Amino acid sequence: QVQLVESGGGLVQAGGSLRLSCTASGNIFRFLTMTWYRQAPGKQRELIATITKVGNTNYADSVKGRFTISRDNAKNTMYLQMNSLKPEDTAVYYCNRDSPIWAWGQGTQVTVSS
């Protein structure tokens, strides 16, 4: 079973930036499309960004133009650069593969103050 570890969250003012990281155990990371999700309080988990094994990306409209997903296959690590953060970006952020998903990691909390 692959284990996912998210990190890099924190408290930031609106307009600020954060860079999240996601590290996966095992040796299959480089072969997979990976995703970032987020879950705000009282809301369903939302898919916000996807990156294929060769680096093609896709974003939800809510983050397009502000967030950038990237990956380093040699390090089994994926990143989410978040710029121009808004209070509505406040959520727990999770990473996973596209499908079928693995067990969720603990996530990393992002809080954006106004």
Q: Which residues contact 54 (CB under 8 A, 6 or more apart)?
A: none
> CA 104 → CA 10, 37, 55, 84, distances in Å?
19, 10, 22, 27
pLDDT at position 81: 98
Task: Work out the widest C-alpha separation in the chain, in whole angstroms.
Answer: 41
Mean pLDDT of 79-95: 98
pLDDT digits (tens, 9 = 90+) for 60-73: 999 999 999 999 99
Q: Which residues contact 65 (CB under 8 A, 6 or more apart)?
A: none
φ, ψ for residue 74, nearest 5 deg: -65, -25
pLDDT digits (tens, 9 = 90+) for 17-27: 999 999 999 88
Residue 51 has pLDDT above 90, yes or no: yes
